[in-house]
Amino acid sequence: MIFWRVKPLDAILATAEKKGLHRSLGAWQLTLLGVGAIIGTGIFVLTAEAAQKAGPGMMLSFVIAGFVCAVAALCYAELSSMVPVSGSAYTYSYAVLGELVAWVVGWALILEYAVAASAVAVGWSGYFVGLLHNSLGIDLPLALANGPYAGGIVNLPAMLVSLFVTGLLVIGTKESATFTAVLVAVKIAALAVFIALALPVLNSAHFQPFAPLGGTGVVAAAASIFFAYVGFDAVSTAAEETRNPQRNVPIGLIGSLGICTVFYLLVSAGAIGAIGAQPVVDPATGAGLAPGSAELAARCQTLAGAGTQPLVCSREALAQVLRQIGWGGVGNLIGLAAFLALPSVVLMMLFGQTRIFFVMARDGLLPEALSRVHPRFKTPHIVTLVTGAGVTLAAAFFPVGKLADVSNSGTLFAFMVVAIAVMILRVKDAGRFRPFKTPGVWLVGPLAVLGCLVLFLFLPPEAQLVFPVWGAIGLVFYFLYGYRKSHVARGVVDPTGGEDIIQEIRPLAECCEED
C-alpha cells in the first residue's frame, strides 16, 4: 500500500549527509531567523484584521493562537531534534505515517509558505505606500498600489519586494541570515518604541465592549491571527543547515516563540488602549463586515472621506496609532521600520518553502532538477526562482487577510500531522534517542491536534475550501509523477549511495539510546 511506503529515519539522515546543504547556522542565528519569520505582517498588519473580527477581544485571540502554536512547537522540537534535516513536517511524516501522507503534508506546506510570503509582501506594500504619502507627499496611483479587491489593478510594490527577496535567497543562506539579523533588530526596536509610547496613554474605556461580536468573533480572529505565529516552523526547515541541530533547533523554536508572544500581547494592548479597536459593522444588520471584502473597503473609504479612519481600516495599523496620539514623526519611523523589516519575513517564508520543495525533489516525488544546488552559491536556485515567481503573482492580486487565512488552512493541517507523528513514534520507535522530548506528550499532543482542528473550523469558508481543492490538485500531481518516480517505491532508499553512512549511524544511535 502506498500509505505505508515509509522512509526509515536512518535513511533520511544518510541522504541528508550525502546530498545535503552547508551547515552554517547556530542557535543565536536560528532564534533570530525565527523571530524574523514570526514578527511581521501578523502584528504590523493583521492587527487591523483581528480587530475587525474580535474588537478588543483580539488580545484573547493572540493568547489562543499562541497556545496552539506552543503545543505544536513542543512537538516540532522533538521531531526536529531527532531528524535534523530539511523538510520539516513533510520529512517527519514520511518517516512515521508513510509517503502518501507525507506528500499531502508537503503539498500543504507549499501552500503555507508560498501564500504566507505573498501575504507579507502585501502587508509590506501597505506600509510602503503609507510611508511615501506621509513622509514624502507622494501618492502611488490606486491602480498600482492595490489588487482588484480594493479597486486597483495590480499591487506593484508587493511584486517588487517578492522579486528582490527571491534574488537574495539565490545568493546564499548565510548572507540571508546576516541580512535578517539586522532587520530583526530594527523590528524589535520599532515595537519597543511603539509599546513605550502607546501604553502610557492607554484608556480602559477603549476595551469596552471587549468582544462586540461575541466569543465566535474572538475564536475566528484567533484562527486568522494564528498566521502571526507560524514563522517558528521555518526554523525547523533550516535544521539541515544548522550546526549541532539537536541542541540548536529546539532553542530556536521555543526561544523565538516565547519572545514574540510577549511582544504581541504588549503591542495589541497598546493599540487597543490608545485609540480603540471596535469593528466596522453593517449599519442595517449590525453584523461585522468581512476583512478583505469589497464591502469593508467601501465602508472604510466612506469613513475616511468623513475624516475618520478606524484602526480596522488601516493598512499600516501601528504607524496610524502613533499618528493619532500625537507622535506623527515617530509613526512615520514605525512605518519606515516596517518598510525595512518586513522583507525579512518574506525571506523566511520563501526560505522555508524552497527547502520543502528541495527535499521532496530529493526524494523523487518532484522532478530531480528542483533539487539541484547552485555550484557557486550552494543554494537550491531553481526551486527558489520557481517559488519566487508564484509568490510574486499571488502578491500582485490578492488581499493580505485572504492570503493569511488560506496559508493558515495548510499550516493547521501540517501542525496536526506533526502532533500525531510524535505520538505514533513514541509507541512505534520508543527506544530511539531523543535529544529533546516533548514534555507531557500524551497531553500536549492531543491538545495540539484539537487546537488545530478548532481553529480550522473557524477559518472563513473560502479558506476552508481552498485546502481540499489544493490537496486534490496535489494528489493528481502525485499519481501522475511522484507515485512512479518515488525513490522509496523504486527501492532506492538513499539515491546517493548512503548505505555505508547508514551502517555508521546505526551503531551510533544504538549507543546513545536511553536505557
Q: Quick count: other Cβ atoms within 10 Å of Cβ 216? A: 12
Question: Residues 450-462: what's their mean pLDDT?
Answer: 92
pLDDT band at 452 (very low <50, low <70, confident <90, very high): very high
What is the rounded distance in angstroms from the CA atom of residue 72 to the CA atom of residue 77?
A: 9
pLDDT, position 438:
84
Can you list the domains of the chain with their CATH numbers?
A: 2-280+309-507 (1.20.1740.10)
* Three-class DSSP category at 196: helix
**Pick from 111-115, 215-219, 503-507: least confident:** 503-507
> What phi and psi values does residue 260 have, to the nearest 5 degrees?
-70, -35
**Pick from 96-105, 127-136, 239-248, 381-390: least confident:** 239-248
pLDDT band at 85 (very low <50, low <70, confident <90, very high): low
* 115 pLDDT higher than 90: no
pLDDT, position 515:
33
> What phi and psi values does residue 98 have, to the nearest 5 degrees?
105, 170
What is the rounded distance in angstroms from the CA atom of residue 107 to the CA atom of residue 481?
A: 14
Tell which residue, 23, 69, 19, has the closest CA to residue 42. 69
Give the percent of the chain with pLDDT over 90. Answer: 11
**Pick from 90-99, 324-333, 349-358, 504-513: least confident:** 504-513
> What phi and psi values does residue 148 have, to the nearest 5 degrees?
-60, -25
Given a contact cutoff of 8 angstroms between Cβ atoms, the answer to whether 53 and 279 are in contact is: yes
* 509 pLDDT higher than 70: no
Question: Grid coordinates standing for 509?
Answer: 544511535
pLDDT, position 16:
54
What is the rounded distance in angstroms from the CA atom of residue 252 to the CA atom of residue 77?
A: 9
Cβ partners under 8 Å of residue 489, min gap 6: 2, 5, 99, 364, 483
CA 276, 277, 283, 285 torsion-angle sign = negative
Q: Quick count: other Cβ atoms within 10 Å of Cβ 491? A: 7
Question: Residues 220-228: what's their mean pLDDT?
Answer: 89
Tell which residue, 403, 180, 479, 151, has the closest CA to residue 300. 151
* 443 pLDDT higher than 90: yes
CA 237, 243, 247, 248 torsion-angle sign = negative
Question: Residues 464-482: what's their mean pLDDT?
Answer: 88
The predicted-structure confidence for 251-310, as pLDDT tens digits, reads as follows: 887 788 888 888 888 998 999 999 888 888 877 777 788 777 778 877 887 887 777 778
Q: Quick count: other Cβ atoms within 10 Å of Cβ 485? A: 16
Given a contact cutoff of 8 angstroms between Cβ atoms, the answer to whether 30 and 249 are in contact is: yes
pLDDT, position 88:
65
pLDDT, position 497:
38
pLDDT band at 152 (very low <50, low <70, confident <90, very high): confident
Distances (CA, A) of 119 to 41, 58, 126, 396: 8, 20, 11, 10
pLDDT, position 78:
82
Given a contact cutoff of 8 angstroms between Cβ atoms, the answer to whether 353 and 384 are in contact is: no
| First-last CA distance in the chain | 34
The predicted-structure confidence for 50-74, as pLDDT tens digits, reads as follows: 888 999 999 999 889 989 988 898 8
pLDDT, position 150:
66
Q: What is the model's pTM?
A: 0.78
What is the rounded distance in angstroms from the CA atom of residue 421 to the CA atom of residue 99?
A: 13
pLDDT band at 506 (very low <50, low <70, confident <90, very high): very low
